[in-house]
Amino acid sequence: MSFNKEQAELVDEYYVAAIMDFCEGVKIDELKEILCLYEDDENYEACAGIKKAIEGLEDVIKTYKNK
Burial-class residue 27 by CB neighbours within 10 Å (0-12, 13-18, 19+). exposed
Q: What pLDDT, on the 0 to 100 scale, is given for residue 40?
A: 98
> Could you read off the pLDDT of 26-64 as tens digits, one per residue?
999 999 999 999 999 999 999 999 999 999 999 999 999
How many folded domains does the chain comprise? Answer: 1
Range of the domain at 10: 5-65
Q: What pLDDT, on the 0 to 100 scale, is given for residue 46?
A: 98
Confidence of residue 1 (pLDDT cuts 50, 70, 90): confident
Q: What pLDDT, on the 0 to 100 scale, is given for residue 66?
A: 80
Q: What pLDDT, on the 0 to 100 scale, is given for residue 26?
A: 98
